[in-house]
Amino acid sequence: MGGGPEAPLRDGERARDLLLAVLPWPEKAAEKSIAGIKEEFPNLEVHYIPEQYSERKEERGKVAVPEELQKRANIIATLAWLPATASNIPNARFIQCFSAGTNHLAQHPVYKDSDIPFTTASGVHGPQIAEWVIMTDLIHSHNYITLYEAQKKKEWVQSKGMQVQDRVGRRVGILGYGSIGRQVARVAKAMGMDVIAYTASPRPTPESKRDNGFIVPGTGDPDGSLPSAWYSGLDKESLHNFLKQEIDLLVLAVPLTKDTTHFLSTAEFALLHASNPSGTYISNISRGGVIDQTALIHALETKQISGAALDVTDPEPLPADNPLWDAPNVLITPHVSGSTTVYAERAFLVLRENLRRERDGGKLVNVVDRERGY
């Protein structure tokens, strides 16, 4: 779409804005949402450049984008690509990232040295990641790996599947009660679990507990009514108070910042064990660096925790000789819990909401606070 010389403007005619989308999906994957944007914003030109996805992080964002398009762009939609400097995009009003976080862009000159607002796609990941969290927890609690191995050996041994812990009455502690944590809470409550939430700042009032970000319709906890208790703080004492609450499933859904790096380490695993000797199961769908991986391996080997489901590791990809692969009761997936066939469609809905808010003079949704890192 787009491209070609621009016709001169007639009297009273507005110059068309340019939405430059550089994304690792074929345009067809988001054609419905793009069509909706073009219908609602007829003065917006959309130019879509598909980027070849790479397994290697250092190769992502390496795509040729014509300088003329960079210069004209008013809104940029991206996952990994950014221009060399902010001077390449003098007309950019905001940059819509198609990821939940921006830590992968935090050292880029456009992020560090400009005041162009960055917004994220936070809110689109809740359904699929919540399903991954519950799926892996059930795999663990229902001994599915053992049963599957028996199936491959053509063994019919009922005793291997007898020690099942159903989820009714169990407690899930959600560390980071954003859109993902709220959808985990919704599903967990439907299964009869108790939910407790942990946030960086206190949420003492009904209004402060509301989710004011993007929400996939019919999901999440918009009014913040699902947790039976809320905890908060970035200091160790506050975190430790939360971890003492006999948690059966601990879900890590916090952004990776200097405050949350190695948020869980030796002392925290010891506290979890003391509070729940039968074993907390840890689910990490945030970033690998939130956990001290060496301490995690030790906690698994000494049965301080009952197991761990990890969609993220430190580093990524996880080297084949890393001892985490061989730790007991660990389930590792290659950072795919946020994947869904409708990801691009949903992320464009966030962009569409921001286009509306900008048009109507409102505040953009999911604006990144560069000081906080999210």
> Any idea what the Cα angle at residue 229 is, between residues 226 and 230, rounded to 5°?
100
Average pLDDT over residues 2-16: 52
State percent of the chain over pLDDT 70.
Answer: 95
Average pLDDT over residues 342-364: 96
- Where does 17-124+340-359 sit in CATH, by number? 3.40.50.720
Strand partners, 171: 194
The CATH architecture annotation of domain 126-332 reads 3-Layer(aba) Sandwich (3.40)
Average pLDDT over residues 113-123: 96
Cα–Cα distance, 305 to 206 (Å, whole number): 34
- Give domain limits for the chain: 17-124+340-359, 126-332
Where b means 16+ CB within 10 Å and e means fewer, 11-37 reads: eeeeebbbbbbbbbbeeebbeebbeeb
Mean model confidence pLDDT for the chain: 93
Average pLDDT over residues 279-290: 97
pTM for this model (two decimals)? 0.87
> Any idea what the Cα angle at residue 266 is, between residues 297 and 268, rounded to 5°?
110
Query: What is the pLDDT at residue 123?
Result: 94
pLDDT category of residue 204 using cuts at 50, 70 and 90: very high
The answer to whether domain 17-124+340-359 and domain 126-332 are alike in fold is: yes
Q: Which of residues 65 and 55 earns the better pLDDT score?
A: 65
pLDDT category of residue 89 using cuts at 50, 70 and 90: very high
pLDDT category of residue 3 using cuts at 50, 70 and 90: very low
Contact 248, 276 (CB under 8 A): yes
pLDDT category of residue 52 using cuts at 50, 70 and 90: confident
Q: What is the pLDDT of residues 21-49, one digit of tens each?
A: 999 999 999 999 999 999 999 999 999 99
> Any idea what the Cα angle at residue 335 is, between residues 246 and 210, rounded to 5°?
55
pLDDT category of residue 15 using cuts at 50, 70 and 90: confident
State percent of the chain over pLDDT 90.
Answer: 88
